[in-house]
Amino acid sequence: MVCVGSIIKSIGIRGLVKIQPYTSSPSFFLERNLFFLDSLKEIMLFDQKINKKNEVLSYIKGYSDRTAVDSLKLKKLFVLRNTLPILEENEYYLNDLSNLIVFNKAKNELGKVSAAFDYGAGVFLDIKLNNSNTIATIQFKKNSILSVNIIEKHLIIDEDFLIK
C-alpha cells in the first residue's frame, strides 16, 4: 500500500470531502475510484474535482452526509502499489525512500531515512543519525543526494547539505 493523500475535512451537508493529495498531480485522483483507508477499508470516490488550490473535492460511496464523512477527517488514503505507474529512471516514490540506509561520499554509514516529505518546495528526507537520537534533514536534489539504490536499500549523500 502507498499513501497518496489524506481527507482534510468535510464541506457542506451532503458528504463532500476535501482531500490533500500527496501525488505529483491531483489528477491522479480523477483517474481512479478505489482507495483504502488506513484501516485497510475499501472506499470508492466519485464526482472528483480539483479546486484552485490543487485539492481534490469528492464524494465517498456510502457516506451521504456531513456527520458520516466527519468520521473520516484526517484519515490517510492508500492505493495498491501494483496499480501505480512504472517510474522513469531516477524517479522514486516517497514511500520507497523511507528506511533506506544513508552513507556519505566516503561510504561511511550515517543513519537511516526515517521519513520523506514533499512540502511543495521540494522533497526533504529526515535521517535518524546512528548512535544518537538526532534527526537531520536533507533536501532531495542532485547535488545533495548523489545516488539512490532502491534494490540495495541505500543512498549516498553529500554531508555538506545535511541540516542538523
The DSSP secondary structure of 96-137, one letter per residue, reads HHTT-EEE-TT--EEEEEEEEEE-SS-EEEEEEETTSS-EEE
C-alpha cell at 95: 514511500
Please report the domains of the chain, with CATH numbers, ordered by start residue: 2-82 (2.40.30.60), 95-161 (2.30.30.240)
Each residue's pLDDT tens digit, 79-112: 998 888 888 888 888 888 999 999 999 999 999 9
The pLDDT value given to residue 88: 85
Model confidence, pTM = 0.71
Which secondary structure element, helix H or strand E, spans residue 3, and what is its range? strand 2-11
Average pLDDT, the chain: 91
- Tell whether the model's pLDDT for residue 160 goes beyond 80: yes
- Tell whether the model's pLDDT for residue 55 goes beyond 80: yes
* 20 CB neighbour count, 10 Å cutoff: 17
